[in-house]
Amino acid sequence: MLNSGIDAPNKGSLVRVSEACDADLHAGNLTGWQQEYDQTSRGGFYGRIVELPFDGLQVFCEHTSQALQQKCVVWPDSVWLGIPLADQEESRINGLTINPNNIMCRPGDCDFQLSTPSDYDLYGLVVDKSTLTDMALIHGVELNWKELAEHGRLGVPDKILEEVRFLLARLLLVENKESPSRLQHDIVMMALLEVLKVETPQPATTQSYKHRKKVVDCARQFLDHHLDEPVTVTQLCKITNVSRRTLQYSFDSILGISPIQYLRISRLNGVRRSLVQAQHGQAVSDIAAQWGFWHLSQFAKDYKQLFGERPSQTLEWRSQSKTLSSF
């Protein structure tokens, strides 16, 4: 579980743009969130966030070039809406597939997981509950807090989604040099209320979803506590008390990858995270061993295949960036 000791971002003055060539560094660029990203597709990563903070409201657009498994928490006493851009490959929230007319929704201070494809773009709106409640009261909109808290997937009419996407695209133009105004704030809030007036919950349609989600959650929790061990699929079957076939189906349907892929990718991402955070003098071989990689030639090959660079290159560019930042 991520540490949720995070606060809402302060009001900004201009559109803020941040870029990163590492998935986890990119995850840390979104103000007021605590996130951990694991890259699951092969190649170099590029991420970009265009963000505009208001009082009690955050608006952003996020681009990620590679497929990811994301663990996310937003600041307490807030509500997040995630609106994928149109015509993209499907994503998942907590194992639920996001269809073209769906948006994502989670309350603040609550862990959730996203599975996103390569070349993915997402609009995000985070609003303080008090701000949303006050605005809803003024305009006579009744909010169903139970739906917003319980269902990660909401259905919204295509026309409303198209209008909201257009509004957010205009608002987040990098060329926009004006400070966030009260008018802009109220326009976004009105669009948010329009979405919440017409949303319909889209819960899981099969009875087996909860069981499959429980199997995956149990396996991931076990892995989180045995990161330095070469865990096998057989072990995961025993821990989750299911057959290999059920384990495979659970992972494929909830995360979009197999258990074997998840085992390998999670450990490789763990090594990369350690390399990025390494202290001066730490060696690649020592860090790899901490994550249970003993065959260094195979490890180096797998690492380069996933991230598009050698482990020593990751260690080198992070060391150089830390040196430069100290001047």
pLDDT tens per residue across span 70-126: 999 999 999 999 999 999 999 999 999 999 999 999 999 999 999 999 999 999 999
Closest residue by Cα to residue 190 from 68, 57, 4, 2: 57
Query: Which residues, other chains included, contact 168 with Cβ-Cβ below 8 Å and sequence gap of 6+?
Result: 59, 61, 83, 123, 125, 188
Distances (CA, A) of 61 to 40, 49, 192: 21, 6, 15
Which residues partner with 5 through β-bridges?
Answer: none
Average pLDDT, the chain: 90
For each of the domains in the chain, give its residue range(s) and CATH number, in order of start.
Answer: 16-201 (2.60.120.10), 208-325 (1.10.10.60)
Mean pLDDT check: name the lowest of 33-42, 260-269, 314-323. 314-323
Contact present, 215 and 177 (Cβ < 8 Å): no
303 vs 292 pLDDT, higher one: 303
The sign of the CA dihedral 25, 120, 196, 149 is negative
Does the predicted TM-score (pTM) go above 0.85? yes
pLDDT of residue 323: 42
pLDDT of residue 149: 87
Residues 55-68 have a mean pLDDT of: 96
Residues 32-51 have a mean pLDDT of: 96
Residues 160-180 have a mean pLDDT of: 84
**Counts of helices then strands in the chain (DSSP H, E):** 12, 13
